């Protein structure tokens, strides 16, 4: 379809305005004075900012475009996103405050930092960092794909989309390098306001535009495509897949580097408890966005590319102004999470690969510069990969979820299992990764989400091996183990820098 000049102009103006605000957020030099300040904002963010930041990095353009695409193609299987996020927020209420307390006391900024200190193992730390960076690159690529698709819908016939995408991501890289976590945090305020206003407007207006009201739309779906409203009982994505996909995705959600970055910005453990209670509010939008995929299936031509389902639905439903506001919302849902993801990946590389393995004696000033500079490497790799292998992105991101959940035992279980050993954790993680990739590459999942097989093998291996190394672990207690299990002061306070 031909683009709309008004929509393109509005989209570009809003993106540029938000990027400018991102630069302004870092005008205070203290925001880049250390790795802790640059990557987690000195742990000074209150409940509202953490809610906006975590919401910004978890609810991305891929969430909206991907869910409508999945609903357009596969109907009700898209609803797995609802239980998985609810489960994730529920369990986060119990482990994130404890993780934050340890990270705050010992000045840790990544999950790999925690693993290094919990198990006194630089190898495990680096292994988790490598997994985190490798799995995050395709996720960043999906944000690239989201803005590329959005600009294609808005600007076909007016701009060279790839050039504009490259410029957009370079600008994001610059403001991330300059402002650190403060940039995406303050721009997330704008993004989240637009998401709530524009997405709710769309889910109300689109059924009215095309069917007269929601009731008529649901009736038409139930008559013409009833399979879209029921879960398949058999096939590769039946009920077993739905259950295991929801569970694995839930356990993996806060294992992503960008999610952990948002968590570590909190000024208190209580902020994270409040987030666990209120983050499910975003599901109001998610549930309704899935129905937009059903609308698209009923009104768009059958040969529509599924990944353009929501964008083409916007094109045929609104004028230039409406399109521009919708497109800019989706574009910001690409760019802002990309910034947070780049911070998370850069922090993992600099702290847990460069410092732990390559240059242990690096000075804090040099480490801060390396961490900030890695943003350009991460975004550059994502751009290159996304432009060269666009068809592989969704598959790799789904594989990424199965890969990231394998660090769950090393992070979450170790918060509560005092006698968990380094050796059992490392072997379990490696076995989990091998099983996951084997099942994925051979296509022998038997209707179960691939990561579930890997996680099961991971945990079983860890439990079997652990008793052989418990005595050794007891002789090598460290400060983090003492904090978790032997500290007499159990209170979870606020950050020292609060």
pTM of the model: 0.86
How much is the pLDDT for 491? 44
Domain spans of the chain, in order of start: 5-26+41-391
**Which of 1.50.10.10, 3.40.50.300, 1.20.1730.10, 1.20.1530.20 would CATH assign to domain 5-26+41-391?**
1.20.1730.10
How much is the pLDDT for 497? 41
Q: pLDDT under 50 in the chain at which residues?
A: 489-491, 494-498
Q: What is the pLDDT of residues 189-220, one digit of tens each?
A: 888 888 888 888 888 898 899 888 888 888 88
Q: What is the pLDDT of residues 468-486, one digit of tens each?
A: 888 876 667 788 888 888 8
Written in H, E and C, the secondary structure of the chain is CCCCHHHHHHHHHHHHHHHHHHHHHCCCHHHHCCHHHHHHHHHCECHHHHHHHHHHHHCCHHHHHHHHHHHHHHHHHHHHHHHHHHHHHHHHHHHHHHHHHHHHHHCCCCHHHHHHHHHCCHHHHHHHHHHHHHHHHHHHHHHHHHHHHHHHHHHCCCCCHHHHHHHHHHHHHHHHHHHCCHHHHHHHHHHHHHHHHHHHHHHHHHHHHHHCCHHHHHHHHHHHCHHHHCCCCCCCCCHHHHHHHHHHHHHHHHHCHHHHHHHHCECEHHHHHHHHHHHHHHHHHHHHHHHHHHHHHHHCCCCCCHHHHHHHHHHHHCCHHHHHHHHHHHHHHHHHHHHHHHHHHHHHHHHHHHHHHHCCCCCHHHHHHHHHHHHHHHHHHHHHHHHHCHHHHHHHHHHHHHHHHHHHHHHHHHHHCCCCCHHHHHHHHHHHHHHHHHHHHHCCCCCCCHHHHHHHHHHHHHHHHHHHHHHHHHHCCCHHHHHHHHCCCCCCCECCCC
């Amino acid at each position: 379809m031909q683009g709309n000049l008004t929509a393109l102009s509005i989209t570009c103006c809003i993106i540029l305005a938000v990027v400018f605000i991102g630069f302004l957020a870092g005008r205070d030099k203290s925001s880049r004075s250390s790795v802790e300040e640059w990557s987690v904002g000195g742990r000074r963010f209150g409940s509202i900012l953490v809610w906006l930041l975590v919401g910004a990095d978890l609810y991305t353009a891929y969430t909206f475009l991907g869910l409508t695409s999945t609903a357009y193609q596969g109907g009700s299987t898209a609803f797995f996103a609802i239980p998985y996020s609810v489960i994730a927020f529920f369990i986060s209420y119990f482990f994130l405050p404890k993780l934050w307390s340890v990270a705050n006391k010992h000045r840790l900024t990544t999950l790999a930092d925690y693993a290094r200190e919990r198990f006194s193992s630089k190898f495990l730390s680096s292994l988790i960092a490598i997994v985190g960076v490798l799995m995050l690159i395709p996720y960043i690529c999906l944000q690239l794909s989201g803005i590329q698709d959005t600009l294609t819908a808005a600007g076909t016939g007016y701009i060279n989309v790839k050039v504009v995408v490259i410029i957009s991501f370079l600008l994001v890289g610059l403001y991330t390098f300059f402002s650190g976590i403060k940039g995406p945090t303050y721009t997330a305020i704008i993004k989240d306001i637009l998401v709530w206003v524009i997405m709710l407007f769309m889910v109300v207006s689109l059924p009215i535009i095309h069917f007269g009201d929601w009731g008529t739309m649901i009736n038409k779906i139930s008559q013409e495509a009833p399979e879209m409203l029921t879960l398949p009982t058999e096939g590769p994505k039946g009920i077993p897949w739905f259950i295991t996909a929801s569970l694995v995705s839930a356990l993996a959600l806060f294992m992503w580097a960008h999610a952990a970055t948002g968590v570590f910005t909190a000024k208190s453990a209580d902020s994270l408890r409040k987030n666990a209670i209120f983050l499910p509010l975003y599901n109001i939008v998610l549930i309704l966005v899935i129905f937009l995929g059903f609308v698209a299936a009923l009104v768009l031509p059958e040969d529509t590319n599924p990944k353009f389902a929501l964008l083409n639905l916007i094109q045929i439903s609104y004028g230039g102004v409406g399109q521009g506001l919708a497109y800019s919302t989706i574009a910001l849902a690409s760019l802002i999470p990309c910034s947070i993801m780049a911070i998370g990946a850069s922090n993992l590389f600099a702290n847990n690969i460069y410092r732990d393995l390559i240059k242990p004696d690096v000075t804090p000033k040099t480490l801060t510069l390396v961490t900030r500079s890695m943003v350009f490497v991460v975004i550059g790799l994502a751009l290159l990969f996304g432009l060269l292998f666009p068809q592989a992105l969704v598959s790799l991101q789904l594989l990424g979820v199965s890969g990231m959940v394998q660090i769950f035992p090393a992070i979450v279980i170790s918060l509560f299992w005092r006698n968990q050993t380094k050796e059992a954790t490392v072997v379990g993680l490696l076995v989990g990764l091998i099983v996951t990739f084997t099942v994925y590459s051979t296509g022998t999942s038997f209707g179960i989400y691939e990561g579930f097989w890997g996680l099961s093998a991971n945990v079983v291996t860890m439990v079997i091996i652990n008793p052989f190394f418990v005595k050794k672990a007891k002789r090598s207690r460290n400060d983090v183990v003492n904090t978790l299990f032997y500290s007499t002061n159990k209170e979870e306070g606020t950050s020292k820098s609060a």
